[in-house]
Amino acid sequence: MRLLKSISFFILLTVCFSGLAQAQSREVMELKSGWKFTRNADEAAYRSQYDDAGWETVSVPHDWAIYGPFDKEIDKQTVAVTQNNEKVATEKTGRTGSLPYIGQGWYRQKFSIPASGKNKRVILLFEGAMSEPVVYLNDQKVGQWNYGYSYFYFDITSYIKNDGVNVLAVHLNNPDQSSRWYPGAGLYRKVSVIFKNEESIDQWGTTVTTPMATTDLAKVNIRTAVSGENVRLVTEIFDPAGVRVVAGQTDIRFGKEFDQNFLIKDPKLWSPESPNLYYAVSKVYAGNELKDELKTRFGIRQIEYSPSTGFSLNGKTRKFKGVCLHHDLGPLGAAVNVAALRRQMRILKEMGCDAIRSSHNMPSLEQLELADEMGFMFLAESFDEWAKPKVKNGYARFFNADAEKDVVNLVRATKNHPSIIMWSAGNEVPDQHGAEGVKRAKWLQELFHREDPTRPVTVGMDQVKATLQSGFGALLDIPGLNYRTHLYEEAYRVFPQGFILGSETASTVSSRGVYKFPVQKQVEKQYPDNQSSSYDLEYCSWSNLPEDDFVLQDDKPWVIGEFVWTGFDYLGEPTPYDDKWPSRSSYFGINDLAGLPKDRYYLYRSRWNKEKETLHILPHWDWKGREGEVTPIFVYTNYESAELFINGKSMGVQKKNNTSPQHRYRLMWMDVKYEPGTVKVVAYGNDGKVAAEKTISTPGKPYAIKLDPDRRTIQADGEDLSFVTVSIVDKNGNECPQAANQLKFSVKGAGKYRAACNGDATSVEQFHLPTMKVFNGKLVVLVQAGESAGPIELVVTGDKLKEGRIKLSSTASSAINK
């Protein structure tokens, strides 16, 4: 089936409720607390008459490896990374984060069936388990799944005890050399039990499209797969304000599916700027008895990909301003947390980012829900490997047997999110070479089309020459190029689609607050301190600087956007130091591992966020010992020109120009010599008048600890977090950008200390211990809410520093600023 060029559809997101829900017709019980966990135990440990007295008690989502310690011997690999153009094998110590994810783990949970759930159909749903989970219930094997990023479920009706205690056990196995980055370990996403009647909506059984969606009118088609005989379906649709706008019912099924059409006048369309969400209530009746009820959210929007317009959303041409994200959440590891995801996405939104690529894995449902709510277009990716391996024990072991069911579950579980605008069948797969790879690409794309004919499919291609010759790139709906900016023109000429997507771009490397001299472009540059310069001129052998992609976005209408590698640093893959120790996390991030913006953040913000002013100066101005030495100053701004002053003396006016890609997007004073004092930048508008000013000053000695929370009030649900930025300042409140003080943290009241992170890729301090050294004057402390409302106090201390103290609070109300 060929994908329609004009794609309109109506999206829904199934919302699960914990506890009693929806008139007792359906109940969802999240298995969250009270899990027992043990590591590296064999089968006998599970079989020993359920003796788990010595097991750890944990809550799920849970990542057993994030607590460390870091160890260079963990998953040490001696390999040549072909994706990085390496020819000679070298020892890679931090490739998967140097955290203890290798090995086996057992989880055990005991639960009883609520009275309302007895004698019903029971579904056991896993949203992610790392990895190779084997599931047992009441000492019987229920089933297994291999892919650690996949959502999957089992019907456990025949295994369940309606009376008494049920014992659920999950065995996980993470072999060495099974990943190219830190994958996490354990039940790192939610586990739920669903109780429903025989007459009910099938799991992921609802499909919603709109054959037409405009600002005047939307035609809504809802197909609902329902089990049971002699049933009818009633559907009500509510607008973003909660007002019912349309309703309908039917008792006619085509096979198992009901097929309903609705008309919505003057619909509020979904977009990143206006993420309007409707919701529907679907009810299944047998006679007059309500048998099932499901509440869903959805958005209405139209997407189109064409040679003439490139990509358009709701009839308006636009280019993706996207980033790639791995799934780990820094100091939280792989364990999904809504507050941490929301904070990441707020930071990206402020930068002007409007799109996310889940790389190279299936995204969490929580991340997609937030993308729907906050307004991010989403490129949902499936695999990093097909049949040809990248690592010894990667997904290639399972591809031939499992790829179809993994794609099916990905699409069926997530296809109704308005945020998803494209599927990715793979990333930089070695199968790009040869006829077999072309066949696999075609087979996978057809699987996606079979499950969802409304969205296009891409693959992140790095072997562009091979895909030009084989036809691999030509058969894809969207040709995605990873880097290879020098091949964009040729790919555009040869590929028939009429447009190119930058599916992965830049891979510029930098360390927050680190500046190296002399200032010049560097490829694969290494320094004795295992850091990279934040002048943003260093990159990898296969990659490039941000401006190389900016030029393509701005000058080539057929380039439909980019997804920058990466929005945030992530654990593992510490290029260009993956052969050095200590080095255990990436340098690619626009933001560091703690979520603190690097200088590069403001370069992207100056280009992407046109609604707000950007005026950012780098480097810092604390260079004792460099007096009189050349210390270039860069300014990232959305103004076209600015004047630089050092201690009141003008260093001249710089104007963006086409001398080089860097001069086109940055203002650079390359000959400035350092002298302590004040740096001031005055930006000029197009009328030549002063539009904005900014100053930075040389600080005094470190004096005090400053605390700045992202939220002062959090929800008392045992999961919510406040991220508190900790800065070292002098007596005048100026930040000390070279401070490296060791700090200690304590939390009192209705919360607890959860973790800290300083963004230093070379740090081997454990995140969960209540002490850490600041990196270039900053770190972030995570304060976690308890389950009871009340005041919380965070105290941060350091030797010879005035302590930092801040009061937070947790509340039982969900109506808080998130």
Q: Which residues are catalytic?
A: 428, 504
Which spans in 609-752 are helix H? 661-665
What contacts 769, CB < 8 A, 6 or more positions away?
none
Tokens of 316: 């308006």
The contacts of residue 385 (CB under 8 Å, 6+ apart) are: 391, 394, 395, 396, 399, 426, 429, 430
Longest dimension (CA), the chain: 88
The span from the CA of 196 to the CA of 148, in Å, is 27
Pairing of strands 377-381, 355-358: parallel
- Rounded Cα gap, residues 503 and 505, in angstroms: 7
Query: Nearest CA to 452 among 624, 207, 216?
Result: 207
Task: Enumerate the β-bridge partners of residue 321.
Answer: 562
Contact indicator for 65, 99 with CB cutoff of 8 Å = yes
Separation between Cα atoms, residue 595 and residue 268, nearest integer Å: 33
Please report where in the chains the tokens 């869903």 appear, as a residue: 296
Is the dihedral angle over the CA atoms 451, 369, 406, 179 positive or is it negative?
Answer: positive
Q: Residue 550: in which H helix or E strand, if any? A: helix 546-555
The three-state DSSP-derived secondary structure of 418-433 is CCEEEEEEEECCHHHC
Token reading at 286: 């047998």
Judge whether 106 and 47 are in contact, CB under 8 Å: no
Residue 236: count other Cβ atoms within 10 Å of its Cβ. 17
Contact (Cβ atoms closer than 8 angstroms) between residue 490 and residue 468: yes
Say whether 582 sits in a helix, a strand or coil: coil
Task: State the Cα–Cα distance between residues 199 and 330, nearest whole angstrom.
Answer: 43
Which of 348, 358, 368 shows the shortest CA–CA distance to 298?
Answer: 368
